Structure 1
Amino acid sequence: MTIDELRWFLTLAETEHVTEAAARLRIAQPTLSRALLRMERRIGTQLFDRDRHRLRLNDYGRIFRRHAQRALDELDAAQDRIATLLDPPQDTLSLAFVHSVGGWLVPRLLGAYSHDAPGPRFALHQDSAATVLSLLLDGTAEAIITSPRPSDPQLGWLPLRDERLQLAVPADHPLADRDHVRLGDLADERFIIMRPKLGLRQITCQIFHRAGMTPDVVSECTEISTIKGLVASGLGVAVVPAGDGGPPPAGVRMVPLTDQDAYRTIGLAWHQGRPATAAGRRFREFAVRYARGADPA
């Protein structure tokens, strides 16, 4: 099944008329009809109900249309990404970062950089720690902002800041009014944590292990905002980053953890085996100054 055939199918699904679809695609009607029959033979069922002079997309066709559109969208996105890599906009830095720093640290960092180097251009990508690392390794991103530090020895690393971890509890929880708490006191709590392979999950598992406890996990999530929402609903408690220090969502209280290792280090990583672009070199030089506190943020 070719890409052209998928596009022809989507046009046919929209018009439900072979003659009209063929005219729009500028191909012969018999060519389109034969392509549809080949497609249906490969799939093993008809995608349209035949109604004399028209076609009617059936349930199988509607399922196939959703997946065909998704496949073409992914292919278009891949072509766009490759085109950007082959001919990037002048002086553009491709930067990827984990979700949990997208709402505060990244805007703060890039805002400070725009004052240091007016007119910078960024191609930004926000995702999980595993995904942003893969973007760095395959060359899609020139630098990433992530946590914890990637273990790959090919990667350079610049710590940007240490961020304290706190305990998020429901507003009516017995610990909600505490000034602080330690993990060793939470053995009877039910925890909501990040899913495996996510950066924050790795960090929280390490501090639980050092505290000598195995958390009772009731739910696993991929977003910190979802975790806080579940905490607000009373499902459990969670260890989450302090973020920018702003107020928590309604129904949640943040209690500082006294454990000395209850923090994560957020840093900038890059591939040491690849030559840096001019934009990448300037940004790394700025990031060094930013990490030392020489720039206002």
Structure 2
Amino acid sequence: MTIDELRWFLTLAETEHVTEAAARLRIAQPTLSRALLRLERQVGARLFDRDRHRLRLNDYGRIFRRHAQRALDELDAAQGRIATLLAPPRETLGLAFVHSLGSWLVPRLLGAYAQDSPGARFTLHQDSAGAVLELLRDGTAEAAITSPRPSDPQLGWLPLRDERLGLAVPADHRLADRDTVRLDELTDERLIIMRPALGLRQITCQLFHRAGVTPDVVSECAEVSTINGLVAAGLGVAVVPAGDGGPPPARVRLVPIADQDAYRTIGLAWHQGRPGSTAGRRFREFAARYARGAEPV
């Protein structure tokens, strides 16, 4: 049996009339009748009961119809996948992300996506957490990788992974050789922190509040790299993301924070009230699969 014959059978099963089915398929009625007889011989059973000029799908035919439809659905999916590989869509997706994810998670995610969807194109926007959400709202970006979860109910949210936070201290600091540190041990420390508009600032303040600590903030920055530089110079300590687990910068030690809530959830956000593109939908579907296979950092 051929793919065309399976499609002809499904049309015939729908109309239960050879003339009508042949007209819909734009083939000659004798051609369709001969194809049905060949199909029934191959199956080994009559698929229709004949009633003068009409057909009635019987029990065998109903069973065959279910399986034929599944087979064609799978073949259509395979052809679509092959077509995507041969001629990948050229839509460009606007993707925004917070600064601290640009050195590891975003390249890792986009690299994996390029393997899944060759030819995918992106316009990338790197900014603070508040700014990337504004890019979603005004339509400049269709998706954003950020933390923490946006409070705006118009923004959809897909958690990607949890990232542990650590305490960055100078290499000669009293805590530098510790295996872990608790936030309530930092009451006398000078803290370097992100600026108020940044997502990591919100998370850090919530951590200290839950730990019952009012930190002595000596400096506010917009970049994790700047914070690490100030820590290395001995100007204070800072709560920073662990990133991909690589070594900290020179003259800085990253001490794991023992508090159980010392992590941030990184996720993908999008505007639910705006029609999305095919590229955006495909990227969200891939990100969901990626998230299921990701291990917490």
Q: Does 1:114 align with 2:91?
A: no
Q: How many residues are treated as equivalent by the alignment?
A: 207
2:152 counterpart letter in structure 1 = D
| CA deviation string 1:29-53 (max 9, x = no partner) | xxxxxxxxxxxxxxxxxxxxxxxxx
Correspondence for 1:168: 168
Find the aligned partners of 2:126 and 2:284 in 1 and give their Cα distance.
19
- Contact persistence 2:90–2:120 (CA under 8 A): no
Which portions of structure 1, spanning 4 or more consecutive aligned residues, are displaced by more than 3 angstroms? none
Q: 1:294 deviation in Å?
A: 7.4
- Contact persistence 2:91–2:120 (CA under 8 A): yes
- Contact persistence 2:91–2:121 (CA under 8 A): yes
Correspondence for 1:125: 125
Report the TM-score, using the length of structure 2 for normalisation.
0.69
Correspondence for 2:156: 156
Correspondence for 1:207: 207
| 1:78-97 aligned within 5 A | 90-97=90-97
Q: 1:152 deviation in Å?
A: 0.5
Q: 1:235 deviation in Å?
A: 0.2
Please state whether the residue corresponding to 2:187 is helix, strand or coil: coil
| CA deviation string 1:179-238 (max 9, x = no partner) | 001001111111000011110000000000000001001100000000000000000000
Correspondence for 1:147: 147
| 1:234-245 aligned within 5 A | 234-245=234-245
Q: Percent identity?
A: 82
Find the aligned partners of 2:90 and 2:136 in 1 and give their Cα distance.
20
Please state whether the residue corresponding to 1:292 is helix, strand or coil: helix
- Contact persistence 2:169–2:254 (CA under 8 A): yes
Find the aligned partners of 1:158 and 1:117 in 2 and give their Cα distance.
20
| 1:248-263 aligned within 5 A | 248-263=248-263
Unaligned runs of 5+ in 1: 1-88
Correspondence for 1:219: 219
Please state whether the residue corresponding to 1:176 is helix, strand or coil: coil
| 1:98-109 aligned within 5 A | 98-109=98-109
Change (3 A) 1:92 1:164: same
Find the aligned partners of 1:274 and 1:233 in 2 and give their Cα distance.
47
Unaligned runs of 5+ in 2: 1-88
Find the aligned partners of 2:270 and 2:196 in 1 and give their Cα distance.
24
Please state whether the residue corresponding to 2:293 is helix, strand or coil: coil
Correspondence for 2:56: none
Find the aligned partners of 1:111 and 1:118 in 2 and give their Cα distance.
10
1:184 counterpart letter in structure 2 = D
Report the TM-score, using the length of structure 1 for normalisation.
0.69
Find the aligned partners of 1:115 and 1:128 in 2 and give their Cα distance.
28
Find the aligned partners of 2:194 and 2:127 in 1 and give their Cα distance.
14
Find the aligned partners of 1:100 and 1:180 in 2 and give their Cα distance.
23
2:239 counterpart letter in structure 1 = V
Find the aligned partners of 2:168 and 2:136 in 1 and give their Cα distance.
32
Find the aligned partners of 2:179 and 2:255 in 1 and give their Cα distance.
6
Q: CA RMSD in A?
A: 1.3
Correspondence for 2:5: none
Please state whether the residue corresponding to 1:217 is helix, strand or coil: strand
| CA deviation string 1:144-167 (max 9, x = no partner) | 000011100011100000000000
Find the aligned partners of 2:134 and 2:275 in 1 and give their Cα distance.
18
